Structure 1
Amino acid sequence: MSGIQAIMSRMAEIDALLPSKTTQVDTTAGTDFASALTDALGDASTGTATGADAVTAAQKYIGVPYVWGGTNPATGLDCSGLVQQVYGDLGVDLPRVSRDQAKVGTPVASLEQAKPGDLVAFGSPVHHIGIYIGDGKMIHAPEAGQDVKVGKVYETPTAIRRVLPETSTGGTTALSGLSGADSLTALTGKYGVSSGGSSVYSSLFAQATQKYGLPSGLLSAVAKQESNYNPNAVSGAGAQGLMQIMPATAKGLGVDAMNPTQAVDGAARLLKSHMETFGSVPLALAAYNAGPGAVRKYDGIPPYNETQNYVKKIMANLNAGVAA
């Protein structure tokens, strides 16, 4: 099943659950909707992920310990494991080892021409690889005893490869400047499909809140910030569904991120775990956004603008009494 078909299938399932006045799909517009959705999200053959999305995705793993041969963020990653994980989050299947990763994509002549998201490889044969972030720096998993971190490109790379474009290749439409979630919101409005709202999922939020002992309103506030209550949202970085869960995280939780019931339960479990680990709601939210490794690394909310704003906005919504 294609990505478009999967989304359309999920919308049909959700349609059966929502009140008829809030979810109405004009069946005669099915072809137009699919076409516009393809424009907004990108066809599976081309994708909408960019090099900047790879940098954003990689930031979530900062603080994860280096483990030789590691491919699981929960236990540790090596350099090529990190690269494979990050690009896998974006739907790009890369080889397992660095010497093979250094052959994918297209070559970049020099570091001066490198763009964020490019792969920078070292040694001949290649023995180390990282993800370039600009300004002569990269995110990489250095060596035993260290964590995934931002570091200098310490020597001239023996290979620089561009796997993802600098800008989206998903098409130039009126929606091309929007994020995946915003594009879907615009499309659902255009074609008369409601993305829902807090009231649609209030029972799911309430059940999970009680089940896991979470603060009232937390799950609703997270869903509002993550997807604006859109169960079909897919971000440029690959996060999916109502609660914007990355595919690898969803797999670890054993949930389908595009299924609202499963997504809310999985997000509730994840937030509960983070609260038990870090002892506060703001730190749990920071871990949900940037990864627990980053919270440990900085012993608090990481100094990323995205994460700082994320926590502030959700806490503001929570304090304002967003419906549970």
Structure 2
Amino acid sequence: MSLGVGGVLSRVAELQEQLGLTPPPAAMPGSTSGDKFASALAKASGPGQGTSTASGPSGGDVVAAARKYLGTPYVFGGTDPKKGLDCSGLVQQVYEDLGVKLPRNSWQQATAGRPVASLGDAKPGDVLAFGSPVHHVAIYIGDNKMIAAPKPGDHVKVESVYEKPATIRRILDDVPAAAVQDMSSLRPAGLRGSVSGSGLAGVPYADLFLKAGAKHGVDPKLLAAVAKVESGYDPKAVSPAGARGMMQLMPGTAKGLGVDNPFDPEQAVDGAAKMLKGLLKEFKSMPLAIAAYNAGGGAVHKYGGIPPFSETQAYVPKVQRALAALGG
């Protein structure tokens, strides 16, 4: 049973009186020591609006943390506020300041927390994600405004929500501080380790996609989409070019990823997750990472985008459609 501040003060006074101590003048007009104690206790208790230690950080805390970075230069791939931030770097940094870990990429952040139905239902601190596939994220501050790191040559600033978000995610939902500390309720939905509710129910080898995704920080749905397009989830598949297994790894690529047997589904999925993690970090774009998985990173660099190979040009949208079908 909670006594409240007044009840606590009253109980303290009773105990002091029973022990023969001088009762604090908390209830007396003009008192000082009692007032100080009440003030300190009230500060410790918080205003009861989701800002107290017991309730963890609130959406207002998120907005306040984001405002600290206003004016920070936009730097593509930037994660250091002293040098510059990109859109997902800003969102990740703001939540990290509050003790909440979010994934690095915008498309991963667009699966964190829980969905919010519409902008009309959004609250300050929610993450707004734009594009399909997601290519931009921002922090909602209310009144149709958001804080974002918009583009090269610009800086972190407040701007209007210029288009309908593809998705809105509530990372903080008045969860207890303990839940924030262990982060389990804030991981991207696809990384929580349970097939049920992950969007992969009924997908072959779903448990392997979840396991490898959690291990390497890659969306399990992306792994499943690649497997579907590469082999139709067939662990014995062999391509005319010699790519092997469910994830269609070439022998040399498999060896470099530490995959001894690409026909072993668990090894293959783990190797593919490791590979995609590196490609996503290198290109900071899901379509380019998917293209590099098919054609190689060198080709993507050479052509400055998706290579003009008919196979790769068709491959990227196939994977994106498979990913969308999984809710990714």
TM-score grouping bracket, smaller chain normalisation: 0.3 to 0.5
TM-score, reference length from structure 1: 0.38
* Higher relative contact order structure (alpha carbons within 8 Å, sequence separation ≥ 6): 1
TM-score, reference length from structure 2: 0.38
Q: Which has the larger radius of gyration?
A: 2
